[in-house]
């Protein structure tokens, strides 16, 4: 029914019972580029079903079309991840900045998330290790840190930690903003990041890995779950990705040699 929307993945699960390999199902993250009247318009991070609907709905939300009559023709190629749509009025869209942006799970980086043209993004070589007990302790401290979440239930949080405790805590209605605020503080105050750990309350899609890799951080812990491209990015960028931490149980998705 939805084989195209999921991927199976084998992760290391650590719990009170010990370490074991488990098979998981993750949501597939898809990169979809819309060409509008012949010009590249936008790249969305999305699920790969119903791409015609997504194309039409996105353009309507952007006030570029109002009805089906405004669509002269549309061709979607799910294999290549592209749509070509022609709309009435031959509207020219200046794509000088906009198309280089990924939109959806919160607006990420380049058209390929771990943009190798970007000299700041490199594979993480750090040999830093962390114990499972430290991870449980950091997540416990993290979950008690957000006063704002406790009163509103409408906030994301992120934290920079070392292997003893949380150093910087950040909150925002957007999960990307929470992470950017952390890194902005590090940049302005000269705090090093390459020897640290990031903790996030949010889902892990590829854009977050791109941000974390740019700062040379070897370990990312999430309370939530990753998407398929989040896993792929963590693997290729050399980042240890830990997710779904609940009580005394966690999944280590990539580079599990860093978790002792």
* Footprint of a copy of itself on 82-121 (CB under 8 A): 93-98, 101, 103-107, 109, 118, 120
Q: Is residue 242 near a copy of itself by the rule CB under 8 A?
A: no
Closest to a copy of itself by CB, 138 vs 204, is: 204
Cα→Cα distances 229→10, 22, 120, 225, 239, Å: 15, 19, 20, 12, 13
Query: Within positions 3 to 32, which residues make up the interface with a copy of itself, using CB under 8 A?
Result: 5-6, 25-27, 29
The distance of closest approach from Cβ of residue 255 to a copy of itself in the complex, given in angstroms and rounded to an integer, is 20
Retrieve residue 246's tokens.
């609940």
Taking the C-alpha atoms of residue 36 and residue 59, their distance in angstroms, rounded to an integer, is: 9
Q: Is residue 205 near a copy of itself by the rule CB under 8 A?
A: yes
The distance of closest approach from Cβ of residue 260 to a copy of itself in the complex, given in angstroms and rounded to an integer, is 27
Taking the C-alpha atoms of residue 238 and residue 23, their distance in angstroms, rounded to an integer, is: 21
Residues ≥6 apart with Cβ < 8 Å to 81 = 30, 31, 32, 33, 48
Catalytic residue chosen out of the listed positions 39, 107, 150, 173: 107
Q: Is residue 241 near a copy of itself by the rule CB under 8 A?
A: no
Taking the C-alpha atoms of residue 253 and residue 61, their distance in angstroms, rounded to an integer, is: 36
Q: Is residue 246 near a copy of itself by the rule CB under 8 A?
A: no
Count Cβ atoms within 10 A of the Cβ of residue 260 and give its class: 0-12 exposed, 13-18 middle, 19 or more buried. exposed
Q: Catalytic: 107?
A: yes
Stretch that binds a copy of itself, among 83-91, 126-134, 146-154, 252-260 (CB under 8 A): 146-154
The set of catalytic residues is 107
């Amino acid at each position: 029914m939805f084989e195209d929307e999921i991927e199976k993945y084998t992760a290391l699960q650590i719990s009170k019972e010990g370490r074991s390999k488990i098979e998981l199902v993750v949501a597939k993250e898809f990169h979809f580029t819309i060409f509008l009247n012949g010009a590249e318009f936008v790249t969305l991070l999305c699920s790969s079903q119903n791409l015609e609907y997504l194309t039409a709905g996105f353009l309507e939300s952007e006030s570029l079309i109002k009805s089906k009559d405004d669509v002269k023709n549309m061709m979607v190629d799910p294999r290549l991840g592209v749509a070509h749509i022609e709309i009435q009025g031959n509207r020219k869209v200046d794509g000088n900045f906009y198309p280089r942006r990924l939109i959806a799970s919160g607006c990420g980086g380049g058209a390929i998330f771990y943009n190798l043209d970007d000299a700041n993004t490199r594979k993480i070589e750090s040999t830093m290790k962390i114990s499972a007990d430290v991870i449980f302790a950091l997540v416990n401290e993290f979950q008690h840190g957000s006063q704002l979440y406790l009163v509103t239930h409408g906030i994301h949080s992120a934290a920079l930690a070392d292997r003893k405790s949380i150093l910087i805590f950040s909150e925002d209605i957007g999960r990307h903003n929470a992470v950017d605020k952390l890194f902005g503080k590090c940049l302005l105050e000269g705090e090093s990041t390459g020897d640290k750990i990031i903790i996030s309350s949010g889902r892990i899609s590829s854009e977050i890995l791109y941000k974390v890799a740019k700062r040379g951080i070897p370990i990312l812990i999430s309370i939530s779950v990753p998407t398929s491209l989040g896993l792929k990015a963590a693997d290729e960028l050399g980042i240890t990705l830990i997710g779904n931490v609940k009580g005394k149980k966690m999944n280590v998705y990539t580079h599990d040699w860093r978790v002792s």
